[in-house]
Amino acid sequence: MDSNNSSRSSSIYSELLIDQNDLVNIGKMKVEDYLNYQLKLQIDDIMNHMEKKIADLKENSIKKKEEIRLQLNSEINNESADQEDDDDEDLSNDENAAN
């Protein structure tokens, strides 16, 4: 019977997100204080998770901006090279026409 009560208690604690190791704290605190304590722990966990996500997003955005900048520079350089080739070809055609 004790094992049934113990497993039932464990189930209740897990559903309430209460760590069994915190039972000593529960005995020392008012229920409201304990709930505030648990809420603060959960909020802190969420905030830490969100801070990590924000840092990852910033890092990814910096990398993406750099990729786009490099791609645009490459396209600009290719267009400049194509324009120079066209200018050289036009000059060559003009020289051939003059001869």
At 76 the pLDDT is 87
What's the rounded mean pLDDT across residues 65-79? 91
At 39 the pLDDT is 93
Tokens of 61: 């955005």
Q: What is the mean pLDDT of the chain?
A: 79
At 1 the pLDDT is 44
pLDDT range class, residue 58, cuts 50, 70, 90: very high
Residue 25, C-beta contacts closer than 8 angstroms, at least 6 positions apart: 34, 37
Q: Which tens digits make up the pLDDT trace of 7-23?
A: 666 666 666 666 667 77
pLDDT range class, residue 68, cuts 50, 70, 90: very high
Tokens of 80: 């400049």
Q: Is the pTM for the entire model greater than 0.95? A: no
Among 46, 27, 49, 25, smallest CA distance to 37 is for: 25
> How far are the Cα atoms of 5, 20, 59, 97 from residue 56, in angstroms, in the given order?
45, 34, 5, 61
Higher pLDDT, 88 or 31: 31
